[in-house]
Amino acid sequence: MLGFLDDIENPTAQSYSLYLTPGLSVPEIEDLIKDLALDKEIATEITELVTNSSTGGVLFWGNVNKCLAIPPFPLQTRITSKGYDVEPFRSLLQQQLLVALILVRLGEYAIGVFEGEKLLSSKVGTGLVHSRHKKGGSSQRRFERHREKQMEGFFTRVCAHVRSNLEPHARQLSHVIYGGERNTLQAFRKQCRFLSAFDDLTMGLRLNVRKPRQPMLEAAIIEVWSSELIEWVEAS
């Protein structure tokens, strides 16, 4: 993305840049883009993309490039300017933000604190949690109670590791991001009350992680820092 920004940087008045912060309503976005005289279908598509983005979007629109970039982290300031004004986006991508990744599936976990893409601390491990019992009757109920205790013990251990990794960086953390299976994460966050202190820093992004291991942890931070780029090209 930084290379793309370098390529399109141009102060010409024949182009415009709009930094659309997250949380804008449909009427607000429509009002901000109305002066671009966009095709109705394109305007609708841009509006939907921005409203569905938890980080907002940057619209670069001109006679050479027509694109919408979805940043990895939320935009803080709404900007409207002439030319391809890439500097605010570039500054966002070059920040060395402190980000915590918490990847959990039943029986496996990976926790990491990163400065930019540099790993500062981590803990990866496993724990025994049996798969669901498919038989019925009292044996199933006993098995489910045993499984619930396994889950509780597993979550307790993982929570302790989360605390030991996050607590030293708590005041500097910019974002907390989770990965794994949705129901497992909900149950884990409910039990691990320490995490409630970071609710305001928790991003809506949930990473799709099948194996929370060290390689996945290192790959996940690259995904976290990735931007999405949508381009509109006129038919020749």
CATH number of the domain that residue 125 is part of: 3.30.420.60
| Non-local CB neighbours of 108 within 8 Å, separated by 6+ positions | 125, 126, 127, 211, 212, 213
Q: What span, in angstroms and rounded, lies between the C-alpha atoms of 73 and 168?
A: 23
pLDDT over 80 at 3, yes or no: yes
- 41 and 124 part of one domain: no
Assign 63 a pLDDT band (cuts: 50, 70, 90). Answer: confident
Average pLDDT, the chain: 90
Percent of the chain scoring above 70 in pLDDT: 90
The domain tally of the chain equals 2
pTM of the prediction? 0.87
**Which of residues 34, 64, 94 is at a domain's end?**
94
- 142 and 36 part of one domain: no
| Cα end-to-end distance, the chain, whole Å | 26
pLDDT at 131: 64
- 136 and 162 part of one domain: yes
Q: What span, in angstroms and rounded, lies between the C-alpha atoms of 38 and 76?
A: 25
- 143 and 47 part of one domain: no
**Which of residues 94, 127, 145 is at a domain's end?**
94
- Beta bridge partners of residue 113, listed in sequence order: 100, 121
Give the structural domain span for 124: 98-224
pLDDT at 181: 92
**Which of residues 54, 75, 94 is at a domain's end?**
94
Q: What span, in angstroms and rounded, lies between the C-alpha atoms of 124 and 12?
A: 50
- 216 and 106 part of one domain: yes
| Non-local CB neighbours of 107 within 8 Å, separated by 6+ positions | 126, 127, 128, 129, 154
